């Protein structure tokens, strides 16, 4: 059986894209994002239909956010961007991959590995960001 397409979400970047007070409790903000992502595991993200393997990369104060059904949380031991790149690189080039981030440098790094990218609006209510890349 082929592996599901991979969607990797940059938690810090997506949480930080909306000024809703997330800075008061980064851990809770990441948990809220994780919980909002659950339906995307079945439905897909942007132009990548579901079901998908959804990975939320967490760092810093959010590092202890636990996985839930549908969303696997990966704690970055250092920079979240480096962990996202490692997750993308480990997937294998024949497996479709979409990275959700607005970070331009990270977008370039994962695109070089064959991943498509889309912005944070793709995983926000009313979103639907258009992916770019392969």
pLDDT tens, 48-78? 899 999 999 999 999 999 999 999 999 999 9
Rounded Cα distance, 98 and 129, in Å:
12
* Burial track 2-36 (b if 16+ CB lie within 10 A, e otherwise): eeebbbbbbbbbbbbbeeeebeeebeebbbebbee
pTM value?
Answer: 0.91
Local confidence band at 104 (pLDDT 50, 70, 90 cut-offs): very high
Confidence of residue 46 (pLDDT cuts 50, 70, 90): confident
Strand partners, 48: 45
Q: Could you tell me the pLDDT band of residue 130, with boundaries at 50, 70 and 90?
A: very low
């Amino acid at each position: 059986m082929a592996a599901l397409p991979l969607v990797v979400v940059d938690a810090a970047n997506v949480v930080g894209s909306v000024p809703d007070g997330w800075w008061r409790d980064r851990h809770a903000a990441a948990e809220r994002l994780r919980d909002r992502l659950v339906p995307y595991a079945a439905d897909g993200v942007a132009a990548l239909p579901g079901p998908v393997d959804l990975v939320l990369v967490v760092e810093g104060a959010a590092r202890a956010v636990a996985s839930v059904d549908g969303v696997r949380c990966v704690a970055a031991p250092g920079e979240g961007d480096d962990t996202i790149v490692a997750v993308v690189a480990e997937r294998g080039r024949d497996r479709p991959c979409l990275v959700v981030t607005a970070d331009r440098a990270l977008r370039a790094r994962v695109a070089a590995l064959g991943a498509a990218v889309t912005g944070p609006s793709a995983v926000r209510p009313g979103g639907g960001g258009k992916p770019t890349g392969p």
